[in-house]
Amino acid sequence: MRETVLVQPATGDGLDHRAPRLGVVRAVVEPAFPRQGGDVVERVIPNPQPEDLKRIRREAFEAVVKLGAAPDNVEVTIEVDQSTHRVRATAMGASEMRARQRRDEVGETEAREIAAKAMGVSLERVALAAATPRMRVFQGEVEERSWGIFKKRRSPVRAVDLDGVIRVQRSHSVVRPASARTAIDGLRRLWEDTTIYNGDSTITPDIFVIVGGQLIDLSGVNSIEQAMAVTRGELDGLTADASIALIGIPPSRGL
């Protein structure tokens, strides 16, 4: 197993709401077979199964926590490269020390102001779409015109944590609130609603699942079965009515 570790120190006392979190620890865990002639350890998994992704995600999570990240503030990204069969889980999170020293938690009003400013729209056009105990998801309303005639509407999204840091920001989105009881069914419906079927090809969405303060980035998975397996593992131990936020980014737009 190879672990690549990067400790990124804070660069100031203030928070830049547009930037990634400061003072994070990062771990990349790449389970694999040894590459011939080198000391790099990688894993190539032909046709990775949902349980493979679930296991690798847990390895990355546990690795970054051992490095000092606060468990309730860890973000994990899953990547599956179908052409090379390479599977990677990347985990990032604020350090325990930073978590203990965080400033006063931002309220809903301030978080909404942060989201509106980042979207470049007025407060009146921003609404709370979903929330967990440690993160709020806001959607905006933007109307654009093409050739001065045709109207196009989009719904930008910003997920703001209790530090006032934006954890997800995309130009168009579909947001669904859920509970631990309904999250898997909600995830399946969101996947279907944001997938594009074009003849023989299928373009899958980017999906983010928020559980407490944890952000699960499923934009690198290739099937709903994989996404469900990873998400199901994060729901273990939660009460049935625990709040979950689901964010879908349609592939046609949302970069």
The predicted pLDDT at position 148 comes to: 66
The predicted pLDDT at position 198 comes to: 82
How does residue 244 score in pLDDT terms, banded at 50, 70 and 90? very high
In the chain, the N- to C-terminal Cα span, in Å, equals 33
User: How far is 57 from 28, CA to CA, in rounded Å?
Assistant: 10
CB 168 within 8 A of CB 138: no
User: How far is 146 from 119, CA to CA, in rounded Å?
Assistant: 20
Question: What percentage of the chain exceeds 90 in pLDDT?
Answer: 41
User: How far is 124 from 106, CA to CA, in rounded Å?
Assistant: 19
How remote is the C-alpha of 42 from its chain's centroid? Answer: 24
Q: Is the pLDDT of residue 22 over 60?
A: no
Residue 67 — φ and ψ, nearest 5°?
A: -80, -10
Out of 116-120, 127-131, 151-155, 175-179, pick the least confident: 151-155
Gyration radius from the chain CA atoms: 19
- Residue-wise pLDDT for 83-112, tens only, equals 788 887 888 877 655 555 555 789 999 999
Out of 117-126, 131-140, 217-226, pick the least confident: 217-226
Q: Is the pLDDT of residue 6 over 60?
A: no
Q: Is the pLDDT of residue 13 over 50?
A: no
Query: On the CB side of 146, how many CA atoms lie within 13 Å of its CA?
Result: 4
| Phi-psi map region of 224: left, alpha, beta (phi>0 left; psi -120 to 50 alpha) | alpha
Q: Is the pLDDT of residue 27 over 60?
A: no
The predicted pLDDT at position 34 comes to: 29
Q: Is the pLDDT of residue 40 over 60?
A: no
Q: Which residues contact 116 (CB under 8 A, 6 or more apart)?
A: 122, 123, 125, 126, 138, 140
The predicted pLDDT at position 73 comes to: 73
CB 156 within 8 A of CB 172: yes
How remote is the C-alpha of 74 from its chain's centroid? Answer: 10
**Which whole-number Å values give the CA distances from 117 to 107, 127, 200, in the listed order?**
16, 13, 41
Rounded to the nearest integer, the mean pLDDT of the chain is: 78
> For residue 213, which of 122, 117, 123, 102 has the smallest C-alpha distance?
102
Q: Is the pLDDT of residue 2 over 60?
A: no
Q: Is the pLDDT of residue 195 over 60?
A: yes
- Tell me the pTM: 0.72
- Residue-wise pLDDT for 200-213, tens only, equals 888 999 999 999 98
The predicted pLDDT at position 9 comes to: 32
Q: What average pLDDT does the segment 107-123 reach?
A: 96
